[in-house]
Amino acid sequence: MKKVIYLFVFMVGFLGVSLFSSSSYGANTIKIGIVDTYSGPPATMSQDVLDGFKMVVNEINAKGGILGKKIEFVTRDEKFKPDVGLAMAKELVLKENVDILMGTISSSTALAVSDFARKEKIPFLVTNSRTEKITGEKGHRYVFGIAENTAMAGRAAAFALSKKPFMKYWIAGDDYEYGHSIAENVWNNLKALKPGVQLMEQTWWKVGESDFTPYITQIMSAKPDFLIAATGGATMVTFAKAAKATGLVARIPIYQHTVIDYGVLGPLGADGPEGVYGTAPYLFYYPETPANKAYVNEFRKTYGRYPQMFALFGYSAGRLIEKGFQKAGAVDKEKFINALEGLVIDSPVGKLQMRACDHQLQLPMMFGVVKKSPKFKDFLVASDIVMVPSKDYMPTCEEVLKTRKN
């Protein structure tokens, strides 16, 4: 009998505490709800977003907040699963009553949550998922894209690749929203610029695949000229390791979006995939402008490491929230959205504008090749960097709006 009493007390205690656990901060804060993946391989990237965001939030709160209110944020781990992410988003909006939703590295989750945000009429800032559908086909008033999207990256990459001599291509990647999106965008743009290119075959593996050897050996035996690797947050680093171990990198030139980001090259250390082409919207060592240097130094001082491109997204989100509410003059969701459209913020890479027509932040794009660095001994860097300003490669408003079915 006693054991049962313990059991009951345990359970009732749990349920009781949980039911009364909703944070009851008053109307004196601006509450941000962040859904992201904080476990498993993508965690370092999501953490980077959060750190960049926190830097701005701390600065704002130290100055007294926005419109006299401090910023408060809560995070939820979706474990890279869209069903968990959606449930977390619902909890944040319906129970925690957040003012703004932010997140997530998983493109599948981002789309599901975007849908929900539209129904609930709550602004959703997509910080690190990059499928173009977010501001393109499935775009709407309540969603904003901060990270560069696959349409942008695809164009930039295709532009660079069209100048190279490769003709027979192979596409391989993660079998989910982001993987398909980046591959399609690179390929369609490349084909438009250079009609002679040939797609040999496609290989798609499951998200979070840990053993690439059978896929890589299959690709190598087919001997394509070039491989477009559409890998996302969960598989970037593992794939790079496998590519090096199997000798894929030495044999076949590869392009991977975001491979030149410090978030990928840092953990790989000396094992980085030399010779691989990549694009990314931010590099902490280039360009060496005063603004960038100051940002990097502050980040290093606070967190003890260099920022990846993800920190820039978190940082931008923070600035957008700051300037957006200031311009809106009130903590009102609709006014906030109106204020964001066309808003320009300062950043380590210069002034960035949130494009009004499709709610996409206009970032510059860097294209480079992975090489050893004379300056940094512990990891590889991008070299032969070409920086392309956003207006030169972003799809136009017309093109984007045409994809929406509104």
**Which residues are at the interface with another protein (CB under 8 A)?**
3-4, 7, 10-11, 14-15, 17-19, 21-22, 38-41, 43-44, 76-77, 79, 81-83, 86-88, 90-91, 94-95, 108, 111-112, 115, 175-177, 180, 201-208, 210-211, 213-215, 217-218, 220-222, 237-238, 241-242, 245-247, 267
Tally DSSP H helices, then E strands, for the chain: 15, 14
For 341-365, letters b (16+ CB in 10 Å) and e give: bebebebbbeebbbbeebbbbbbbb
Nearest distance, CB of residue 12 and another protein, angstroms: 11
What is 70-129 written as a DSSP string?
Answer: EEEEEEEE-TT-HHHHHHHHHHHHHTS--SEEEE-S-HHHHHHHHHHHHHHT--EEE-S-
Nearest distance, CB of residue 272 and another protein, angstroms: 13
Nearest distance, CB of residue 325 and another protein, angstroms: 25
**How far, in Å, are 88, 92, 269, 308 from residue 15 at the CA level?**
18, 19, 46, 40
**Residue (213 or 302) nearer to another protein, CB:** 213
Contacts of 26 (CB under 8 A, 6+ apart): none
**Residue (56 or 242) nearer to another protein, CB:** 242
Nearest distance, CB of residue 79 and another protein, angstroms: 8
Q: What is the DSSP-derived secondary structure letter of residue 148? A: P
Alpha helices in 166-206 (DSSP H): 177-193
Longest dimension (CA), the chain: 79
Q: In angstroms, rounded to a whole number, what is the distance separating the alpha carbons of residues 88 and 232?
A: 22
Contact 62, 22 (CB under 8 A): no
**Residue (204 or 376) nearer to another protein, CB:** 204
**Residue (211 or 334) nearer to another protein, CB:** 211
* Residues forming a β-bridge with 101: 33, 124
**Residue (93 or 370) nearer to another protein, CB:** 93
Q: In angstroms, rounded to a whole number, what is the distance separating the alpha carbons of residues 117 and 141?
A: 10
Token pair of 400, please?
Answer: 């984007």
Nearest distance, CB of residue 74 and another protein, angstroms: 9
Nearest distance, CB of residue 291 and another protein, angstroms: 30
**How far, in Å, are 240, 334, 343 from residue 328 at the CA level?**
45, 9, 11
Nearest distance, CB of residue 31 and another protein, angstroms: 14
